[in-house]
Structure 1
Amino acid sequence: MKHLSMLDKTQANPVLWASLGAVFMVFAWSGWIILSRAGVQSSLTPSDITMIRYGTATLFALPFSLRYDWKKVTLWKAVVVSLGCGFPYTMFSFYGLMSIKAANAGVIVNGLLPVFGVILAFLVLGERTTKRRLFAIGLILIANLIMMGHPQAVRDNWFGWLMLIGASLVFSSYMFLGKRYGFTSKDALAFLPIINAVLFLPIWWMSDSGISSTPISTIVLQAGYQGILVSIVTLLITFYALKHIGAMNLSIYFSFVPFVTAILAWPILHEHLSLSEIVGIVVCSVGLFFYAKK
């Protein structure tokens, strides 16, 4: 009876479920970075993985898309938001991950999100941030410089770093505009996968592909994780968590993404970290925590 009572309380507590969902998203997002890094090191190209992602997501989201009231949404707004979390973001990320380690990518992409968020809020809305957040942003920028390493290393991998910075920028626009336009999880689920699949299909068709030489198990893994877990399941959990615990609390959870990514990359990808990279991850996580904390 006691166990049943505890179960009833858990089911009736949306805040608890939202918090558990946020923990799940930390590992899902970290795992996505790991899986994407492994994917671009296989015979699959960035275009292949992107098409697999949105093609699979479209198949599973199609019932929602067909029943969706397309008249209630402004098409150009849907396209802009879809691209912010769509193929420009994945292509930037995948090309960056071809030369940059997973842990470094976790710091760059996730660490720069609040930086670009503050810039967009100031340029578009004229909003000024607090001194505490400016201090947090300073820590994040220092962490990014630490992760990039010696100037020679930056010059050697400038394209990868530039791609990851681009990924963070476009995803920041998605977070900013999605909230500004008032889209819900049902809206995003209905139009985000199909818009990206339709717009990216001609690009993929004209690009080189390695799908024919890739083991089916690798394709299925990428399709399941990229197309279902990340594009659909995590999307729904994100909106649920935003509703019940708020963006600030959710951001605190996300501050652990670089740290978790680094831990997972060690046994899965055999990516070892230098002392300076460990310092960079810690500094970035602290900066993200201070930024999100009320």
Structure 2
Amino acid sequence: MPPLKPICAGLAVVVIWSGWITLSRMGVHTELQPADITLLRYWTALLAVFPLVVRFPWKRYRLRQYLVVGLGVGFPYTMLSFYGLKVIHAAHAGVLVNGMLPMLGAVAAWLFFQQRIARHRRRAIGLIGVANLLMSGGFSLAADQLIGIGLLLTAAVCYTFHMTGIRLWQMSWQDVLVIVPVVNVLLFTPLWLLFPSGMSMATYHDMALQAVYQGVIVNVIALMCVAYAIRNLGTLPVALFMSFVPVATALLAWIALGEVLSGWEMCGIIGCSVGLLWYAWEPSDRTASAVDEK
């Protein structure tokens, strides 16, 4: 039985991340542009953790390690996600970004950690993948939606690099809390000048809402939970927690944004739930389970 605290951390991430997708979908349809929300996110996070920044032992890791972990969930991830959310509904974004993480996490676990996966868990991952495809059954083949799909899938790859880096280099949640805002403030602030901006026309309410949720709740609290869960459970279990985000996002988008769930999405929700339960199941015959790992 996995320890309770990392499981609670994983569940908290599901709630926060589904809220993030929905709120981001709302945010990119205000005067704020993707670059504005990204800038608010990382500057707010930096201010929130600044006392930790000045005491951080920066010689602990190499530059490439800072870049992989910092940018994996940094401005490349957010910009890809925000531009994708301009044309893709929140429920579909949950499918494309978080729903693909079990497969990507499994590939990363095999490549970097030689981690073998039990046969029933491989099948569960496959079922979750099919369920995520069912939830995307409402896509049209319009050019803007195809571009949005590509952007969100690329964002999922970025996030997988972030999760893999945390485990590979055994970074603590305190490390991640400092690294992500510092790396992104330093690199993205000058780049912000190159992107379209609506900051001067945005309301204080919109800016404050995005700054607090993106910068504190997502970039501080959620990152703490993700890093803690990865270190104690591993990359693949956390990726599977994140695969439940499409379900939570679809329901939240229906409540907050009026995005009505289609039959395809309902089938996907059921499939995701069954797949997650199947993955969590432990066979009573441990000998058979051990054979499956080979």
Aligned twin of 1:187: 175
Question: Is the 1:248–1:293 contact (alpha carbons within 8 Å) kept by the matching residues of 2?
Answer: no
CA distance in 2, matches of 1:90, 1:225: 14
Write the letter of the residue equivalent to 2:160: S
More moved, 183-192 vs 217-226: 183-192
Q: C-alpha deviations, 1:124-164, integer Å up to 9, x for none?
A: 44544332233223223323332332674365510111111
Write the letter of the residue equivalent to 1:267: I
1:96 to 2:84 alignment: yes
CA distance in 2, matches of 1:16, 1:135: 25
Relative to structure 1, the CA distance from residue 289 to residue 194 in structure 2 (aligned partners, 3 Å threshold; closer, same or farther) is farther
CA distance in 2, matches of 1:148, 1:173: 24
Aligned twin of 2:290: none
Relative to structure 1, the CA distance from residue 169 to residue 23 in structure 2 (aligned partners, 3 Å threshold; closer, same or farther) is same
Match of 1:290 among 264, 278, 283: 278
Following TM superposition, by how much is the alpha carbon of 1:250 offset from its aligned partner in structure 2, in angstroms?
Answer: 5.1
Aligned twin of 2:292: none
CA distance in 1, matches of 2:28, 2:250: 18
Aligned-partner SS, 1:111:
coil
Match of 2:106 among 118, 128, 133: 118
Following TM superposition, by how much is the alpha carbon of 1:51 offset from its aligned partner in structure 2, in angstroms?
Answer: 0.8
Question: Is the 2:100–2:243 contact (alpha carbons within 8 Å) kept by the matching residues of 1?
Answer: no
Q: Root-mean-square deviation (CA), in Å?
A: 2.4
Aligned twin of 2:155: 167
Aligned-partner SS, 1:219:
helix
CA distance in 1, matches of 2:61, 2:233: 26
CA distance in 2, matches of 1:174, 1:268: 29
Identity of aligned residues (%): 42
Question: Is the 1:255–1:289 contact (alpha carbons within 8 Å) kept by the matching residues of 2?
Answer: no
Aligned-partner SS, 2:98:
helix
Relative to structure 1, the CA distance from residue 280 to residue 153 in structure 2 (aligned partners, 3 Å threshold; closer, same or farther) is farther
CA distance in 2, matches of 1:243, 1:76: 20
Question: Is the 2:104–2:157 contact (alpha carbons within 8 Å) kept by the matching residues of 1?
Answer: yes
**Structure 1 segment 10-89 matched on structure 2, within 5 A:** 18-89=6-77
CA distance in 2, matches of 1:119, 1:252: 13
CA distance in 2, matches of 1:186, 1:155: 42
Aligned twin of 2:288: none
Following TM superposition, by how much is the alpha carbon of 1:111 offset from its aligned partner in structure 2, in angstroms?
Answer: 1.4
CA distance in 2, matches of 1:76, 1:247: 20
1:216 to 2:200 alignment: no
Relative to structure 1, the CA distance from residue 273 to residue 186 in structure 2 (aligned partners, 3 Å threshold; closer, same or farther) is same
Write the letter of the residue equivalent to 1:98: K
Write the letter of the residue equivalent to 1:272: V
CA distance in 2, matches of 1:248, 1:169: 14
Question: Is the 1:252–1:289 contact (alpha carbons within 8 Å) kept by the matching residues of 2?
Answer: no
Question: Is the 1:107–1:284 contact (alpha carbons within 8 Å) kept by the matching residues of 2?
Answer: no
More moved, 117-126 vs 49-58: 117-126
Aligned twin of 1:4: none
Question: Is the 1:147–1:280 contact (alpha carbons within 8 Å) kept by the matching residues of 2?
Answer: yes
Following TM superposition, by how much is the alpha carbon of 1:25 offset from its aligned partner in structure 2, in angstroms?
Answer: 2.5
- Greater fraction of residues in helix: 1
Question: Is the 2:128–2:275 contact (alpha carbons within 8 Å) kept by the matching residues of 1?
Answer: yes
Write the letter of the residue equivalent to 2:274: V
Following TM superposition, by how much is the alpha carbon of 1:80 offset from its aligned partner in structure 2, in angstroms?
Answer: 1.3
Relative to structure 1, the CA distance from residue 152 to residue 171 in structure 2 (aligned partners, 3 Å threshold; closer, same or farther) is same
CA distance in 2, matches of 1:137, 1:17: 24
CA distance in 2, matches of 1:133, 1:155: 36
Relative to structure 1, the CA distance from residue 44 to residue 289 in structure 2 (aligned partners, 3 Å threshold; closer, same or farther) is farther
Following TM superposition, by how much is the alpha carbon of 1:43 offset from its aligned partner in structure 2, in angstroms?
Answer: 1.3
Following TM superposition, by how much is the alpha carbon of 1:245 offset from its aligned partner in structure 2, in angstroms?
Answer: 6.5
CA distance in 1, matches of 2:8, 2:124: 26
CA distance in 1, matches of 2:92, 2:18: 12
What count of residue pairs does the alignment treat as equivalent? 280
CA distance in 1, matches of 2:46, 2:159: 20
Relative to structure 1, the CA distance from residue 293 to residue 162 in structure 2 (aligned partners, 3 Å threshold; closer, same or farther) is farther
Following TM superposition, by how much is the alpha carbon of 1:180 offset from its aligned partner in structure 2, in angstroms?
Answer: 0.4
CA distance in 1, matches of 2:243, 2:195: 36
Relative to structure 1, the CA distance from residue 242 to residue 118 in structure 2 (aligned partners, 3 Å threshold; closer, same or farther) is closer
- Structure 2 unpaired stretches of 5+: 283-294
TM-score between both structures, scaled by the size of structure 2: 0.86
